[in-house]
């Protein structure tokens, strides 16, 4: 066995497949002669020394479970230099030589700053339903959330059709439209309103302009949640005001999108990236996110993964428009 431990934490919003990732990192590490410690409650637990060793048995029977056995948090303390200093001291005390961070852009931003300040090797794994990290085609949890949304929209379609209504369905994604755009295609929705398409007026007008009831007796518009208040309710109110002849309803899917057993795709992605993260450490890589591009594992420097806006393929908008006539 090698000296010291690797440390694993999950941070930010949970995502299905985080447990599969913890399992993969732990088992691959042990296979390669490393010892593993689990850090509870993200960076908060690192600061507060909520840490214990993980064995292969500790990660048995979790590949199929949503959430994260390590718990998660968005740590305000870690945003301060004092908090990060404490975190570093705890790492020294616990003999953790490399930190594995599973999370989204906020979590990887934290890892980047920490790595720079204390010269600590950090390896990131993209765990977020939003799919918004640059440099990886997919993030762990996205596929499961997408499938959950599609299942819900299928159900909404039944009632929408029976009552001949327009539904605005709000999905998560923070400021990224991957969940909205692709769930709209997969569920046969009539339109998606996404932040990447800046002309939001046009998005709604175009949908209305197409005459949603010409050939159909229900319509579903998937809307990305909005920090500026332009979510599903905003569009529903506008349609009610401007087109009072339409019968409009809103469904906000909320946190159910984050739960549930991970899809096979997410379990495989988590397993591949988890093993690759240990390989990366053994190759001397540090301060990189392990991603997947064209079905090949890639190492993406933190600075790139978090700084660049991951673009949505605009041809997806055409696909949706053509197929929702
Ligand atoms: O980043 C994941 C995510 O689910 C976003 O899609 C969403 O905006 C946010 O987290 C919600 O965060 P919280 O669980 O803190 O409400």
- Which residues have C-beta within 8 Å of that of residue 119, sequence separation ≥ 6? none
Q: What is the pLDDT of the chain when averaged over all its residues?
A: 94
pLDDT above 80 for 53:
yes
Task: Please compute the mean of the pLDDT values over residues 80-105 and round it to a whole number.
Answer: 98
From ligand 1's centre to the CA of 325, what distance in Å? 32
> Do 295 and 195 share a structural domain?
no
Is any atom of ligand 1 closer than 6 Å to the C-beta of 132?
no
Q: Is residue 321 part of a domain?
A: no
Q: Is residue 317 part of a domain?
A: no
Please check whether residue 217 is in contact with residue 246, taking contact to mean a CB–CB distance below 8 angstroms: no
Atom of ligand 1 nearest to the CA of 74: 15
pTM reported for the whole predicted model: 0.96
Residue located nearest, by CA, to atom 7 of ligand 1? 174
Reply yes or no on whether 130 is catalytic.
yes
HSE on the CB side for 203, CA within 13 Å?
Answer: 22
HSE on the CB side for 49, CA within 13 Å?
Answer: 9
The span from the CA of 80 to the CA of 287, in Å, is: 20
Is any atom of ligand 1 closer than 6 Å to the C-beta of 231?
no
Query: Cα dist. 253→118, 158, 180, 258, 317 in Å?
Result: 41, 16, 12, 10, 22
Q: Count each helix (H run) and each strand (E run) in the chain, helices first.
A: 11, 11
Please calculate the CA angle 167-169-171 and round it to the nearest 5 degrees: 175
The span from the CA of 49 to the CA of 84, in Å, is: 12
> Do 284 and 189 share a structural domain?
no
pLDDT above 90 for 217:
no
Is any atom of ligand 1 closer than 6 Å to the C-beta of 129?
yes
Please check whether residue 74 is in contact with residue 12, taking contact to mean a CB–CB distance below 8 angstroms: yes
Q: Which of 78, 80, 81, 60 is nearest to 69 (CA)?
A: 60
> Do 96 and 27 share a structural domain?
yes
> Do 269 and 244 share a structural domain?
no
Residue 197 pLDDT level (bands cut at 50, 70, 90): confident
> Do 267 and 124 share a structural domain?
yes
What pLDDT score was predicted for residue 1? 76
Highest mean pLDDT among 64-68, 212-216, 304-308: 64-68
Atom of ligand 1 nearest to the CA of 258: 4
pLDDT above 70 for 76:
yes
pLDDT above 60 for 213:
no
Counting the structural domains of the chain, the total is 2
From ligand 1's centre to the CA of 313, what distance in Å? 23
Task: Please compute the mean of the pLDDT values over residues 127-156 and round it to a whole number.
Answer: 98
Is any atom of ligand 1 closer than 6 Å to the C-beta of 195?
no
Is any atom of ligand 1 closer than 6 Å to the C-beta of 14?
no
Strands (E) in the chain, as ranges, are 5-10, 35-39, 51-54, 96-103, 122-126, 166-171, 191-193, 219-224, 248-252, 288-293, 296-301
> Do 9 and 101 share a structural domain?
yes
Is any atom of ligand 1 closer than 6 Å to the C-beta of 257?
no
What would you measure as the largest C-alpha separation in the chain, in angstroms?
71
Please check whether residue 64 is in contact with residue 261, taking contact to mean a CB–CB distance below 8 angstroms: yes
> Do 72 and 82 share a structural domain?
yes
The enclosing domain of 35 has a CATH number of 3.40.50.450
The enclosing domain of 163 has a CATH number of 3.40.50.460
Please check whether residue 192 is in contact with residue 320, taking contact to mean a CB–CB distance below 8 angstroms: yes
Q: Is residue 278 part of a domain?
A: yes
Q: Is residue 242 part of a domain?
A: yes
Q: Residues 105, 130, 132, 266: which is the catalytic one? A: 130
pLDDT above 60 for 200:
no
Atom of ligand 1 nearest to the CA of 12: 1
Structure tokens at 219: 């319509």
What pLDDT score was predicted for residue 106? 95
């Amino acid at each position: 066995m090698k000296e010291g431990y690797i440390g694993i934490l999950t941070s930010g919003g949970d995502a299905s497949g985080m447990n599969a990732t913890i399992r993969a990192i732990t088992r691959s590490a042990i296979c390669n002669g490393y010892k593993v410690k689990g850090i509870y409650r993200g960076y908060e637990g690192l600061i507060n020394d909520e840490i214990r060793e993980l064995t292969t048995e500790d990660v048995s029977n979790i590949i199929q479970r949503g959430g994260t056995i390590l718990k998660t948090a968005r740590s305000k303390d870690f945003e301060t230099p004092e908090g990060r200093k404490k975190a570093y001291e705890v790492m020294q005390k616990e003999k953790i030589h490399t930190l594995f961070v599973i999370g989204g852009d906020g979590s990887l931003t934290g890892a980047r700053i920490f790595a720079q300040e204390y010269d600590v090797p950090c390896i990131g794994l993209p765990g977020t339903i939003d799919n918004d990290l640059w440099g990886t085609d997919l993030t762990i949890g996205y596929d499961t959330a997408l499938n959950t949304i599609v299942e819900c929209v299928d159900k909404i379609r039944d009632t929408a059709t029976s009552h001949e209504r327009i539904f605005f369905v709000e999905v998560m994604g923070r400021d990224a439209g991957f969940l909205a755009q692709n769930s709209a295609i997969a569920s046969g929705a009539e339109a998606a309103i996404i932040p990447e398409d800046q002309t939001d007026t046009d998005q709604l007008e175009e949908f209305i302009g197409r005459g949603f009831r010409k050939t159909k007796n229900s319509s579903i518009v998937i809307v990305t949640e909005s920090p500026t208040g332009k979510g599903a309710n905003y569009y529903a109110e506008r349609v009610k005001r401007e087109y009072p002849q339409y019968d409009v309803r809103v469904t906000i899917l909320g946190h159910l999108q984050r739960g549930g057993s991970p899809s096979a795709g997410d379990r495989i992605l988590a397993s591949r990236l988890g093993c690759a993260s240990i390989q990366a450490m053994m190759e001397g890589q540090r301060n990189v996110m392990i991603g997947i591009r064209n079905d090949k594992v890639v190492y993406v420097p933190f600075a790139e993964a978090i700084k660049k806006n991951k673009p949505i393929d605009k041809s997806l908008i055409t696909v949706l428009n053509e197929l929702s006539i």
